[in-house]
Structure 1
Amino acid sequence: MATVMVKPINWSFRVRDALGAAVVAALIGLPMLGLTTRDGLNGLQIQTRWAWLAAFVAFAFAGRLVLQWTLHRFQIAPRRRLRNRPASTHSANAALFWAGGASVVFAVLLPALFAGNRYVVDTATTVLIYVMLGWGLNVVVGLAGLLDLGYVAFYAVGAYTYGLLSTHFNFGFWEALPIAGVLAASFGVLLGYPTLRLRGDYLAIVTLGFGEIIRLVLVNWGDVTGGPNGISSIPKPSFFGLPMQASSDVPTFASVFGIAYSPGQRVVFLYYLILVLALLTSVFVNRLRRLPVGRAWEAVREDEIACKAMGINVTNVKLSAFAMGAMLAGFAGVFFAARQGFISPESFTFSESATILAIVVLGGMGSQLGVVFAAIVLVVLPEIGRDFSEYRMLLFGLAMVLIMIVRPGGLVSHRAATVQSPKTGVRP
């Protein structure tokens, strides 16, 4: 059996590297750990916590050394390269298939597994909203390669479309859903058309401006959108016309099916509703990837000039990506408005776009299952850190940095090829 020779570690270089990590930790930890404010006789007073800062810097220095020694001692980087070779494509695809199936089964059984725990079901509903948004943005960023920093604008269009139609024209959830999707897709085309010549950072700046324009319109157009006060009393979705709320005037879900009414029924119904919408979104996006338009998205992402040389209409390809991604965000916005019962411009700030983009990047560009895992991490992690409210965002950012160090390609960097050979099952 052949043995792998491990070269001696260069400790001088590793110590310098660890010192650099300690300096960065000191700069980050100074305003967060080294300084704090306390109420005093003359107002707020700044107090220092040098012991905490020193412990944090020492931990960063020692942790960097341990990490470098572990990577060198156990040859982790070479093993990772071996694991990513094409020979493991079939096993990776099978693992992703079973992981996806297990995730769906767990999602279906979650209300039964946590019966009576409304907090868990509410959190899972929020995760599914971000999963649906992540899959929609994955069409634009992951498949078509178009960086969109204003994706929350389409989310807002869907939410306000349902809010206005339901409160002013008595539209139901199911009636407003397709209208909101079409309107959001129209806004996607409206954004995509003037940005066809832009790429990279310039495209990101324009989309960021578009998202802020939509938010400012919602704030200032008070006669229609309600301005900063938003829209309230948005009706909840029903089960084929049967409301989930208790009512003596009309038949309800509980009365028709002969079960005792419980406030938790509405929470479970909303959970299963967004679960169905998310699964339909996944099937829809996977189907689009196998159609010519999906293949054109990936071709434009890889080389736009080559696509033009082959006669592909790049204009239509980009517009279709913006429209499809915006339509899915509009659907998610309708559900968000129906679930909350109240919407305002504060729900659609740039931080939401950044979170959705982080879900796509951390999950793995173009990976459907990766978006699910990333949404769970980014939504559940802050909920776990509620007991550490003072350091909540510090822990959140640290976790994101660690994920990108360990998995720079995302949580699920591998994904099946869209075009496969019938003999080998890999990209020809």
Structure 2
Amino acid sequence: MANETQTGGRSVDIGHAAKDALLAGLIALGLFGVFIGLQTVQDISNRLVLKVRPEALAVIVGIIVVGRFLLNVFVWGREPSHKAAVASPSGGLLGMFKRLCFLVGVVVTLVAVVDIGFRLAGGALPNMPISPPGTMGLGSIILIEAVAALFGVVLIAFGQNMTERAAALLGPAGIGFLAAFPIIAILGAGWGGSLKWIDNFGIQILIYVMLGWGLNIVVGLAGLLDLGYVAFYAVGAYSYALLAKEFGLSFWILLPLAGILSAFWGIILGFPVLRLRGDYLAIVTLAFGEIIRMVLVNWVDFSGGYAGISGIPRPTLFGIPFNATDEGFAARFGLEFSPIYRTIFLYYLILCLALLTAFVTVRMRRMPVGRAWEALREDEIACRSLGINTTNTKLTAFALGAMFGGFAGSFFSARQGFISPESFTFIESAQILAIVVLGGMGSLYGVVIAAVVLVGGFEIMRELDFLKQIFGNDFDPALYRGLIFGASMVVIMLWKPRGLISTRTPTAFLKERKTVSGDLVKEGHG
């Protein structure tokens, strides 16, 4: 047919894809016309009036139309992923990485080019003079976005020509990029402007990567739905804060101690829920998280209540503090004092903790206890028939996952210097669970990708000039967090129901190691 084309060895009906995309756009126009296209604002007389925002509505509908069309052409028309995975030992995983690199490259390139255009337009754009955010100059911002656009082009080419050897280098290359990230930020944004990139992007994303890997043990490997994971995060944070202030213990002593205390609370949670599964388990864990938060709110003598705990001691480098005194890090090494030294130190600290979490997860998965987790996830009755002690299996999953949550909590407390119950609400548990589900339950790479998209995406949106053009100078992406989370969940359920990375390499195999699709296992993440 004239309106058909060949994509990846298959015929795609372009006309049908375009009609379906337009229909999705009309539906989106009806759904978001009121919520996005109209905004209530106060006029001079302090009255509420409706403000029409056609540009914002056009952007939202356009994204949906283009996304639906691309899904019809490149995703939904392909053959089932399990056929490709069975046909080739690494075809499924390799194909997924190729498509993911291509799509990410396209998005990064388009966003960077569009934002550079808006910034260069400057005063030609209405009511939007160029103002550098924070301490970053306009030249630094454009340079960073130009590098991002070049990186996107590289990703596009990489996705088109990826080989198995290139896919195997993704892990070491990613670790190398993370290790060099502070240097890249300093070169691109300057000594002062790099502070927010290292702190808001690097450290913040790595905290959620570590939390996602910890929850991945409970949800992804053991199949136990936990909606109260933030409770262990809070236990680690408050353990460090209270013990450091009351007893003056150092960070390096309290870091493992906070993990041990969180693991203890994980065991306490595990005992009452040994007989529960599915929705019932989710309700109990949700209640556990809220109980911990309410205790922190109401036990004022212990936790300070809503006032929180301030003045928490900061970690030191072998006893050298990062302050402006003569005993500080800068004075010891003859450097000019700057807060960036402590930020870089904290970055590499959380990077090491995250890599430790990944290393332990991979090692434990290959051990008998890790295979017991996966057996428990697939079928608890069959697991018992094999003679596996499901009680100990569940408790080890809860304890290990809680321990890494405690590590992250103690680091969060040391980094902030102040904590309060508002930092440990249910939305934090929902965000961590969304990272695990969107990335692909049981996948370490998937958690990293989802954390970068969900956590780093909000920070990047604050810096994009064209979004301020559309939504106004006071645009705050945090206000749209629920909408973005919900839309992400809907898109991932339609496009990749088993997560971004749905292929797995079994820990036990016969004769040769083969990557299989998640479609071939019951829960889809084995």
Q: Which moved more, 1:301-310 or 1:239-248?
A: 239-248
Q: Percent identity?
A: 50
Change (3 A) 1:43 1:207: same
1:303: how far off? 0.8
Residue 85 of structure 1: SS of its match in structure 2? helix
Change (3 A) 1:20 1:279: closer
CA distance in 2, matches of 1:390, 1:270: 27
Find the counterpart in structure 1 of residue 173 from structure 2: 102
Q: Which moved more, 1:364-373 or 1:96-105?
A: 96-105
Change (3 A) 1:205 1:187: same
Amino acid at match of 2:174: S
Change (3 A) 1:76 1:17: closer
Change (3 A) 1:88 1:176: same
Q: Deviations over 1:222-271 (max 9, x none)?
A: 001000000000011111212122223xx433344454443211110010
Find the counterpart in structure 1 of residue 505 from structure 2: 416
8 Å Cα contact 1:22/1:60 also seen in 2:
no
1:160: how far off? 0.2
Q: Deviations over 1:95-138 (max 9, x none)?
A: 55421111100011111111221111112011111111011000
Find the counterpart in structure 1 of residue 40 from structure 2: 37
8 Å Cα contact 2:258/2:410 also seen in 1:
yes
Question: Unmatched 5+ residue regions in structure 2?
Answer: 1-7, 95-163, 468-474, 517-526
Find the counterpart in structure 2 of residue 332 from structure 1: 408
Amino acid at match of 1:208: L
Instruction: Determine whether 1:145 maps to 2:223.
Output: yes
CA distance in 2, matches of 1:403, 1:285: 25
Question: Unmatched 5+ residue regions in structure 1?
Answer: none
Amino acid at match of 1:287: R
2:496 to 391, 407, 414: 407
Q: What is the root-mean-square deviation in Å for CA atoms of aligned residues?
A: 3.0
2:198 to 111, 116, 121: 121
Q: Which moved more, 1:252-261 or 1:118-127?
A: 252-261
Find the counterpart in structure 2 of residue 161 from structure 1: 239
8 Å Cα contact 1:19/1:61 also seen in 2:
no
Q: Which moved more, 1:88-97 or 1:360-369?
A: 88-97
Find the counterpart in structure 2 of residue 364 from structure 1: 440
CA distance in 1, matches of 2:300, 2:165: 53
8 Å Cα contact 1:184/1:323 also seen in 2:
yes
CA distance in 1, matches of 2:61, 2:243: 58
Alignment of 1:29-108 (within 5 A): 29-40=32-43, 43-47=46-50, 49=52, 51=54, 55=58, 59=62, 62-63=65-66, 66-67=69-70, 70-71=73-74, 76-78=77-79, 80=81, 82-85=83-86, 87-89=88-90, 92=94, 97-108=168-179
1:26 to 5, 26, 30: 30
Amino acid at match of 1:22: L
8 Å Cα contact 1:96/1:369 also seen in 2:
no
Residue 504 of structure 2: SS of its match in structure 1? coil
8 Å Cα contact 2:236/2:409 also seen in 1:
yes
Change (3 A) 1:59 1:266: closer
Amino acid at match of 1:419: A
Amino acid at match of 2:504: R
CA distance in 2, matches of 1:127, 1:240: 26
Q: Which moved more, 1:111-120 or 1:379-388?
A: 379-388
Please report the TM-score for the alignment, with normalisation by the length of structure 1. 0.88
Change (3 A) 1:218 1:76: same
Q: Which has the higher contact order (CA 8 A, sep 6+)?
A: 1
8 Å Cα contact 1:163/1:231 also seen in 2:
yes
CA distance in 2, matches of 1:86, 1:225: 57
Alignment of 1:214-363 (within 5 A): 214-248=292-326, 251-363=327-439
Q: Which moved more, 1:379-388 or 1:37-46?
A: 37-46
1:158: how far off? 0.1
Change (3 A) 1:301 1:112: same
Change (3 A) 1:342 1:50: closer
Q: Deviations over 1:140-182 (max 9, x none)?
A: 0000000001000000000000000011111110111121111
Q: Deviations over 1:386-409 (max 9, x none)?
A: 254256625565455445444333
8 Å Cα contact 2:29/2:61 also seen in 1:
no
CA distance in 2, matches of 1:361, 1:256: 46
Q: Which moved more, 1:53-62 or 1:304-313?
A: 53-62
8 Å Cα contact 1:35/1:46 also seen in 2:
no
CA distance in 1, matches of 2:505, 2:240: 36
CA distance in 1, matches of 2:52, 2:196: 36
1:36: how far off? 1.1
8 Å Cα contact 2:12/2:73 also seen in 1:
no
Amino acid at match of 1:84: A
Find the counterpart in structure 1 of residue 259 from structure 2: 181
CA distance in 2, matches of 1:64, 1:375: 21
Please report the TM-score for the alignment, with normalisation by the length of structure 2. 0.73
1:49: how far off? 2.8
8 Å Cα contact 2:71/2:495 also seen in 1:
no
Amino acid at match of 1:415: R
Q: Deviations over 1:358-406 (max 9, x none)?
A: 1111111111111111111111110122254256625565455445444
Find the counterpart in structure 2 of residue 385 from structure 1: 461
Residue 43 of structure 1: SS of its match in structure 2? coil
1:14: how far off? 8.3
CA distance in 1, matches of 2:439, 2:261: 28
CA distance in 2, matches of 1:6, 1:371: 33
Q: Deviations over 1:274-321 (max 9, x none)?
A: 111111111111111111111100010011000111111101100110
